[in-house]
Amino acid sequence: MDQETNLKRIRSEISRLDQELLQILNRRAGLSLEVGSIKSQSKDNVFKPFREKEVLNGLAQKNPGPLPDEHLRSIYREILSSSRSLQQPQKVVYLGPEGTFSYFAGVEYLGHSAKFTPKNSLEDVFRAVDTREAELGIIPLENSMQGSVGQSLDMFLKFEVFIHAEVFFRISHFLLSRETEMGAIKKIYSHPLALQQCSTWLRANLPGVEVIPDESTARAASRASTEPGTAAVGHQKLTKFYELNVLGNSIEDIPDNWTRFLVISAHPPEAGNREKTSLLFSVLDRPGSLVSALEVLSRKGINMRKLESRPLRAEKWRYVFFADVECDLTAGDYASVLKDLEDNCYYMRVLGSYPHGPQILA
């Protein structure tokens, strides 16, 4: 068989498989609609991150290849995104403008079928979720180099929203500009944290160039797209939004730079066999009260992954702790632990239990 005939045969086989896939995808969508109508009768949540993880892991375990697992997962994230949106349109709010790391993390994890809507501040993101203007919100909680985003923690004190999922997103910075040569760059814009994360590279490669902090990496890219002689530091995909060139690849000082984002909703997540729980608590003002609260967890062999203290803003010189533990504190087995914690605390609130999040390298 000559090459051309062979190619024709392969393409007609691909088209036949695509038709089969189309039928199967539609059968899946039909089943998802059935699940959706059951959920809407019982007012159940559409987004079930634990079930989604089960679906993705189940497929990855049985993947015979040659399709790489990463590709399989990203295809399926889109199938699940469509499935959720079919059940109920999913509005997702994030700290804008379009093109911030929150935006890219949200799109990669929740897929393109959701309707992503930017907000001007983290407070507006929480408010839109709390008032149910949006089904879901995506917020940055902490960075592996710079620690917690204090404002995100504070907003949990102000709004009664719940954590449904977490996602770890790799933060890699690029130098983006309309210019085609580094020599033409006179000013660099970006978010202060991004500038800090790339400071060694910027000093070595653009010594003496003015570095100007901006509200977000996306806004910096928008400025760089209109002002000649400037550049921005931000996500590589901003090139597509603002027609910019890449003048420096992965310019962050420490390459293993990750941000942990949370998906929040106004409805409590389902209890069950989740792997993590986040909680807020404030201890009584007496010696040993923090130790007593922590002992409640350690007596049950519960591993604590994070403990961060924040000022309790309504009362000066009092503090609240934000903690992550490795178990599902909302499951029935832990009812006595919750009760003991409450007894040892001045204030206690479970923010949600959720599965260990995926690491996305987009």
Ligand X SMILES: O=C(O)C(=O)C[C@]1(C(=O)O)C=C[C@@H](O)C=C1
The footprint of ligand X (CB under 6 A) covers 32, 35, 47-48, 51-52, 55, 80, 83-84
d(CA 313, CA 262): 22
Q: Spell out the residues 6+ positions from residue 129 whose beta carbon is closer than 8 angstroms to its own.
A: 93, 136, 137, 159, 161, 264, 265, 266
Q: Sheet containing 345-354: which strands, arranged edge to edge?
A: 304-311, 319-325, 276-283, 345-354
Is the separation of the CB atoms in 262 and 141 below 8 Å? yes
Q: Give min distance, CB of 163 to ligand X, in A.
A: 15
Of 82 and 190, the one with the shorter C-beta distance to ligand X is 82
State the pairing for strand pair 359-360/162-170.
parallel
Q: Give min distance, CB of 216 to ligand X, in A.
A: 29
d(CA 242, CA 291): 52
Of 33 and 335, the one with the shorter C-beta distance to ligand X is 33
Of 270 and 342, the one with the shorter C-beta distance to ligand X is 270
Q: Give min distance, CB of 44 to ligand X, in A.
A: 8
d(CA 349, CA 312): 14
Q: What are the structure tokens assigned to 149, written together?
A: 């985003």
Q: Give min distance, CB of 236 to ligand X, in A.
A: 29
Q: Give min distance, CB of 122 to ligand X, in A.
A: 25
Q: Give min distance, CB of 75 to ligand X, in A.
A: 13
Of 32 and 190, the one with the shorter C-beta distance to ligand X is 32
Q: Give min distance, CB of 317 to ligand X, in A.
A: 43
Residue least distant from ligand X (Cβ): 83
Question: Residue 86, SS3?
Answer: helix
SS3 for 1-36 is CCHHHHHHHHHHHHHHHHHHHHHHHHHHHHHHHHHH
Of 55 and 211, the one with the shorter C-beta distance to ligand X is 55
d(CA 244, CA 226): 10
Q: What are the structure tokens assigned to 83, written together?
A: 């499935």
Torsion region of 310: left, alpha or beta (phi above 0 gives left; psi -120 to 50 gives alpha): beta
Of 48 and 276, the one with the shorter C-beta distance to ligand X is 48
Of 99 and 111, the one with the shorter C-beta distance to ligand X is 111
Of 81 and 216, the one with the shorter C-beta distance to ligand X is 81
Q: Give min distance, CB of 56 to ligand X, in A.
A: 10
Residue 11 vs residues 6, 8, 19, 66, 71: alpha-carbon distances, Å: 9, 5, 12, 18, 21
Q: What are the structure tokens assigned to 200, written together?
A: 């060694």
